[in-house]
Structure 1
Amino acid sequence: MFAIDHRSTREASRIVSRSFALTFAAFAVTTVSYTAFPTPAVAQAYRFTNVEVEGAGRVSTGTILSYAGITRGQAVSAGELNDAYQKVLGSGLFETVEFIPRGNTLVIKVTEFPVVSRISIEGNRKVSDDALMPLLATKVRRVYSPAEVEADAAGITEAYAVKGQLVATVTPKIIRRPDNRVDVVFEVTEGKGVEIERLSFVGNRNFSDSRLRRVLQTKQAGALRFIIGRDTYAEDRIQFDRQVLTDFYTSRGYVDFQVLNVAAEFSRERNAYFLTFDVREGQKYSFGNISVSSEIAEATSDDFLQVNKIRSGQTYSPLAVDNTVERMERLATKKGIDFLRVEPRVTRNDRAQTLDIEFVLVRGPRVFVERIDIEGNATTLDRVIRQKFKTVEGDPFNPRQIREAAERIRALGFFSNADVNARQGSSEEQMIVDVNVTEKPTGSFTFGGNYSVSDGANLIASFSEKNFLGRGQTLSFNLTTDVDNGSLSFNFVEPAFLGRDVAFGLSAGLGTSQPSYAEHEQRRAFVSPRLTFPVSANGSLTVNYRGELRELVDASEGAITLPATIQTDIAAGRETVHSLGYSYSFDTRRSGLNPNAGFLFKFGQDYAGLLGGDVEYVKTSAELTGEMKVLNEEVTLRATVEGGVIDADGNSSVADRYFNSPSIIRGFEPGGIGPRDDASGLALGGNYYAVARLEANFPLGLPEEYGLSGGLFYDYGSVWGLDDVSGIIAGSDDPNWRSVIGASIFWTTPLGPLRFNFTHALDKETYDEEQTFDLTISTSF
């Protein structure tokens, strides 16, 4: 008997198992080695004595063989044959390519890309075909290219992104047609635009967020988001707003202002942006010492200092500096000093927060304008653009004048983009000015409605073209009608009459109207040419002629006895009126040195009867309006003094006299104050009117995107004076001054500005017709 050692048995089992594993591993390694590294094979080689091409139509056989690079009798390896195949396919001329060896013959079978017979864009509602089609590289009657179509789809997507439609997708599709033709269709899925939910600012201490939002072109999304197109995120608009914000601050003395960053963050739902402008305002500077020095012998400093309008202590404004430079350079031209340049040199006084400006008169380089090249204007004539240059070929080159011309070209409103650049010409002394413009639509047709509390509703149809036949002329027609009245008017303006800085205008019209305060109709037909020309930087003078044929008709149908003075005018029948007149206007509200204040002055007279006709009178009117923004420009204060006088030698007509309207005194019906007939109560109008209006407009604290603001006003004035005082209540000699207080709500909408007036008369007469509420709506659809 013997004993079994279990430990020896287990050890023996492990030895056997280990030996088996090693044997299997050696077998596996040997097998893999033979599989991974087979015996090298000899590469197959071809030698073709003939090459045939099948399926080619537009592309010649020689062209295909040149791409393949295979010649008859040449030994070609399989790799080289594949390279030839890739070259033919990569030419972009064929939809499919096959290389088929048939003995000693190589057959190249191709299918050419079809020709594009039609291109359409479907599903685009927010961006028109006219805006998208010019972006496409794919063209009708050209060979279809998948790469071009994909690039076009990306271009359309980018166009939507520019307008804030970041989720828009474009899918290109083709529709096969006979004769190897295709229709290319770009299917657009617009989706919802990514709105700007909140527009805020960081670092602004002197101006509130609400004031700065009114400066920017980008707007917050609000109640009218389905109409407003500027509440979507667009990168190019943000860049424009950075510059606008900088201009806003620098024009108010903040010379160190910077937009540090514009942060755009997606909302959690990724359907809105939160836009934040991070700004650094810096300190506000004023003008310090203003001086002129000259480095040119014939230019006297004192002469040029006299044209300076800047005064020490005024808030610094780059516009004021530019205007002074322009005046000095204009003076140099008058004195015959060529190539004079004015260099404003600034010295900062940080402690006093002032900027000393020294205007240095230096001799500029002798450089002339060789020529002005204009491109991109398919409709607008070259001369319309050239008229905005004060410089012509051969004149001394002045960079400032070129910049000003560029601004005037952009101000025309004919172009979506206008780039004006200068480059060296045929020599170092010659400069070429390049003008590259992109035209945009300048015509419009409007059909809409007009409503007022006093006159009711009217239908309006109008057509206007700001660049008629590409000549820069304005042409418009307007038709207004209701149940009983209607008018048709025509207006034409040539801004550069006979190539001069003179505007020629021609207005004409005819119509029938019955004022709400009258029981008579006025039938008129008129024509009125005019000339307008500048007399100063802010002033202009207009001279005009008006020829009119008019007639007053009793519209009461016997229901009321008309006043004797109106019956006399009706009995006169058809009358002709010939009048000559002039009007002078001086306006600094837009171009003055102070961006927060300005005034408007108007004065005009019309003389009827000098050229004959049935009516004689002298009509004089004047207006003075001042405007100022206070409280960090949040509140606008406005004051107006206005009046008019008609002198008709005791025989004024009801068709010429003044009647009250909301533009004169608010709080009363049209014709609601002034001389009135005792028996019928009808308004007779007055020979005089005078009014003073005070107004304050301010924000209501509501989100700016709603477009709501408020106002308070006070009007004081009257309409009075009548030649025939028999049978009237009052108002012939005594003005009986009226005063009105009121509150307004302004609602700025894309359809037009709306104004709600709530008024209360403090001083009035018993026969006056008060109007405690007034609403004016003007819509287009």
Structure 2
Amino acid sequence: SREARWWAFLASNDKYDEGRLDYDVRLLRQFYLARGYADITVDRVRGGLLPDRSGFAITFLVNEGIRYQVGTVSVASAISGVDTDELQQIIEFGNDKWYDVRALEQGLLDISNRLGSFGYAFVNVTPEIKTNPETATLDIAITIDKARRNFVERIEFVDNARTTDRVIRREFEIVEGDAYNQLKIDRSVRNVRNLGYFRDVKVATLQGSSPEQTITRVTVEEQSTGDFSIGLGYSSLDKSSVSLGINERNFLGTGRRASASISTSGTETNFNIGLTEPYLLGRNLTGSFDVFNTKTKSDGTTIKRTGLSLGVGFSAARDVFHRLNYELSQSETTVSSTTATSITGEAGKSLLRSSLKYVLSKDTRDNRFDPNEGYFLEMDETLAGFGGDVKFLRTKLSAAYYKPLLFRSVILGVSGKLGYVTGLGDKVTQSQRFNLGGRDVRGFGSGGIGPRDTGSSDAVGGNKMYSGTFEVVSSLGLDKDTGVRWTVFTDFGSLWGTDYPLNVTRPNAANMRVSAGVGIFWSTAIGPLSFSWAKPLSKMAHDTPKTFQFNIGTRL
């Protein structure tokens, strides 16, 4: 139960509920048990209507008792070959050593999972707590009962009405007949969750036909994976727009991705058809095919591109993915009389691009759509010059790290990007350069950082860039049922360097731009929504600030 708040329309826990009060008592006990009060007692006194009948007053009687620090922690195991010293190190109570029931429960779970990785699916891990009031300390003795190793008899999938069993099963690192391994099961569940086909994925380990056998039951809650969009819009940037698109991430429940879209606005016209097969020829091999046609207008510059791309990807080791992509495209750039042709380097030309891209990534995040822990590393290399008119080498490095704090109630996130492009006997033209701003450095508009055309003030991009983010994400102070989380962040970055420096404002100025702000993430039925308010703390005179941004999609 909570006192009424302004966001009450998002939840119902500010309504008086007699049955909820017993749960409130348990929450109060957990609060004190997490802060060293092992002898805490909480009694509900009454819940009564206020005299003015405007609400209910709830009174609890709390007896805290002594606040204890942890004395000794010991582990005794009836299973031979178990390193109890290693298991003892799993439980951590922090530097101050105050007793915390959350740390104990998490430690017991980690010990069970550790034993599960050795093949023990059903093992009793029992703590015994002895308090010493005279010294305000307590000792914890953990006992591991004797158990036998287990094997996987069967893997069951429940509630996947649309997605075939095969699509889920191929994400599992364990099969029927294997020795039970909790670590592999946890990784398999993460793989299934990262497909993005399910709102929730739960796993339960059940007793099989004999004491040595187990049944792994995976229960999923399917969610919409397809989008059909048709719309009319208007914005200050794009003016009027019309769009029509179909995107299905789980085509007919097979795991294939199919998409087709067409859109037109005052600044862009896009057409794209794509198909991705995640397990090409029944192997751990991803194949993709895309055809595209785009037309982009930016003040004095219009760029038309038509082409196709073929891609293949595979995983050579756990969490490591390789992707190879070939693109063949034709581009044509036209500029107005107010835009310096030396800026684009490709004005009036029809250029054929034949390029090969190689991407190497390692991703240990628990959820790539909304990460809470883990890290992500990626190297993206594009080489153009396999015939055609364009020759360049473009390198981009990306990294991100997420760490849960305060028992997963707060997430610390750090991310960064580096980019460099150089011509191979040719100068780097505008369509090959980097742009910076928008989601990478909030507080600035899209393309709002870096060199600009002195005549039209249009962004021309840069050959070198970097950006980074420090952020804290949490739902503290908010009801978790609303799916709303807040963030506090600071972004930084810079973009500079062009092979056509004439008529460009500060082309080689690498000054770091810095911004800070707050944001909101909201998990909804149409996908995650993000709102951010940011203010530049360090900028250059020709940059374009933008305070408010809104996005539909994954957070950074």
| Alpha-carbon contact 1:487-1:509 (below 8 Å) kept | no
Matches within 5 A, 1:565-580: 565-568=343-346, 571=349, 573-580=351-358
Q: Secondary structure at the match of 1:553?
A: strand
- Partner AA of 1:661 in structure 2: G
Tell me the CA shift for residue 490 of structure 1: 5.0
- Partner AA of 2:265 in structure 1: D
* Aligned residue in 2 for 1:738: 513
Q: How far apart, CA to CA, are the structure 2 residues paired with 1:625 and 1:383?
A: 32
Change (3 A) 1:760 1:508: same
Match of 2:545 among 771, 775, 780: 771
Match of 2:286 among 489, 504, 523: 504
| Alpha-carbon contact 2:151-2:180 (below 8 Å) kept | yes
Query: Does 2:435 correspond to 1:659?
Result: yes
| Alpha-carbon contact 1:489-1:507 (below 8 Å) kept | no
Structure ranking higher in helix proportion: 1
Tell me the CA shift for residue 725 of structure 1: 3.4
Q: How far apart, CA to CA, are the structure 2 residues paired with 1:387 and 1:259?
A: 49
More displaced, 611-620 or 490-499?
A: 490-499
Match of 1:471 among 245, 254, 262: 254
| Alpha-carbon contact 1:252-1:317 (below 8 Å) kept | no
Q: How far apart, CA to CA, are the structure 2 residues paired with 1:475 and 1:605?
A: 24
| Alpha-carbon contact 2:452-2:505 (below 8 Å) kept | yes
**Structure 1: gaps spanning 5 or more residues:** 1-198, 202-208, 214-218, 223-227, 333-337
Query: Does 2:14 correspond to 1:200?
Result: no
Q: How far apart, CA to CA, are the structure 2 residues paired with 1:307 and 1:611?
A: 59
Q: How far apart, CA to CA, are the structure 2 residues paired with 1:506 and 1:648?
A: 28
Q: Secondary structure at the match of 1:200?
A: coil
* Aligned residue in 1 for 2:127: 346
Q: Secondary structure at the match of 2:294?
A: strand
**Structure 2: gaps spanning 5 or more residues:** none
User: TM-score with structure 2 length normalisation?
Assistant: 0.69
Matches within 5 A, 1:740-755: 740=515, 743-744=517-518, 746=520, 748=522, 753=529, 755=531
Q: Secondary structure at the match of 1:664?
A: coil
Q: Secondary structure at the match of 1:573?
A: strand
* Aligned residue in 1 for 2:326: 547
Query: Does 2:220 correspond to 1:445?
Result: no
- Partner AA of 2:303 in structure 1: E
Q: Secondary structure at the match of 2:8?
A: coil
* Aligned residue in 1 for 2:148: 365
Tell me the CA shift for residue 762 of structure 1: 4.3
| Alpha-carbon contact 2:290-2:309 (below 8 Å) kept | yes
Tell me the CA shift for residue 286 of structure 1: 9.0
Match of 2:176 among 389, 393, 409: 393
Q: Secondary structure at the match of 1:559?
A: coil
Change (3 A) 1:428 1:748: closer
Tell me the CA shift for residue 365 of structure 1: 3.3
Q: How far apart, CA to CA, are the structure 1 residues paired with 2:316 and 2:343?
A: 42
Q: How far apart, CA to CA, are the structure 1 residues paired with 2:294 and 2:422?
A: 26
Tell me the CA shift for residue 434 of structure 1: 6.4
Tell me the CA shift for residue 329 of structure 1: 4.4
Q: How far apart, CA to CA, are the structure 1 residues paired with 2:498 and 2:408?
A: 47
- More relative contact order in 1 or in 2 (CA 8 Å, sep 6+)? 2
Matches within 5 A, 1:96-135: none
Q: How far apart, CA to CA, are the structure 1 residues paired with 2:411 and 2:156?
A: 44
Of structures 1 and 2, the larger Rg is shown by 1
Tell me the CA shift for residue 619 of structure 1: 0.7
Tell me the CA shift for residue 738 of structure 1: 3.4
Matches within 5 A, 1:324-343: 325-327=112-114, 329-330=116-117, 332=118
- Partner AA of 2:127 in structure 1: V
How many residues of Structure 1 are paired with residues of Structure 2 in the alignment?
532
Tell me the CA shift for residue 328 of structure 1: 5.1
Tell me the CA shift for residue 676 of structure 1: 3.2
Q: How far apart, CA to CA, are the structure 2 residues paired with 1:618 and 1:535?
A: 26
| Alpha-carbon contact 1:286-1:313 (below 8 Å) kept | no
- Partner AA of 1:564 in structure 2: S
* Aligned residue in 1 for 2:395: 619
Give per-residue Cα distances to partners, 1:639-687, cap 9 Å, x unaligned.
5544322233463232221122222334444333323344554433111
* Aligned residue in 2 for 1:422: 206
Q: How far apart, CA to CA, are the structure 1 residues paired with 2:399 and 2:239?
A: 29
Give per-residue Cα distances to partners, 1:453-494, cap 9 Å, x unaligned.
544564444434454333344544444432452324456566
Give per-residue Cα distances to partners, 1:118-147, cap 9 Å, x unaligned.
xxxxxxxxxxxxxxxxxxxxxxxxxxxxxx
User: TM-score with structure 1 length normalisation?
Assistant: 0.52
Change (3 A) 1:300 1:480: same
Query: Does 2:422 correspond to 1:647?
Result: yes
Tell me the CA shift for residue 719 of structure 1: 0.8
Change (3 A) 1:625 1:354: farther
More displaced, 275-284 or 559-568?
A: 275-284
* Aligned residue in 1 for 2:361: 583
Q: How far apart, CA to CA, are the structure 2 residues paired with 1:420 and 1:699?
A: 28
Q: How far apart, CA to CA, are the structure 2 residues paired with 1:565 and 1:736?
A: 21
Tell me the CA shift for residue 417 of structure 1: 9.3
Tell me the CA shift for residue 579 of structure 1: 1.9
| Alpha-carbon contact 1:220-1:705 (below 8 Å) kept | no
Match of 2:460 among 667, 675, 684: 684
Give per-residue Cα distances to partners, 1:411-443, cap 9 Å, x unaligned.
875588978563553x66555666777867654
Query: Does 2:381 correspond to 1:606?
Result: yes
Change (3 A) 1:368 1:435: same
| Alpha-carbon contact 2:121-2:150 (below 8 Å) kept | no
- Partner AA of 1:655 in structure 2: S
Change (3 A) 1:309 1:364: closer
Change (3 A) 1:520 1:526: same
* Aligned residue in 2 for 1:313: 94
Matches within 5 A, 1:165-184: none
Q: How far apart, CA to CA, are the structure 2 residues paired with 1:438 and 1:740?
A: 39
Q: How far apart, CA to CA, are the structure 1 residues paired with 2:41 and 2:279?
A: 40
| Alpha-carbon contact 1:583-1:602 (below 8 Å) kept | yes
Q: How far apart, CA to CA, are the structure 2 residues paired with 1:749 and 1:374?
A: 26
- Partner AA of 1:578 in structure 2: L
Change (3 A) 1:275 1:377: farther
- Partner AA of 1:348 in structure 2: I
* Aligned residue in 2 for 1:519: 301
Q: How far apart, CA to CA, are the structure 2 residues paired with 1:266 and 1:494?
A: 62
- Partner AA of 1:662 in structure 2: G
* Aligned residue in 2 for 1:671: 447
| Alpha-carbon contact 1:252-1:284 (below 8 Å) kept | no
Q: How far apart, CA to CA, are the structure 2 residues paired with 1:547 and 1:441?
A: 31
CA RMSD in angstroms, aligned pairs only: 5.9
- Partner AA of 1:305 in structure 2: E
Structure ranking higher in strand proportion: 2
Query: Does 2:8 correspond to 1:220?
Result: yes
- Partner AA of 2:8 in structure 1: Q
Q: How far apart, CA to CA, are the structure 1 residues paired with 2:351 and 2:122?
A: 66
Change (3 A) 1:291 1:606: farther
* Aligned residue in 2 for 1:29: none
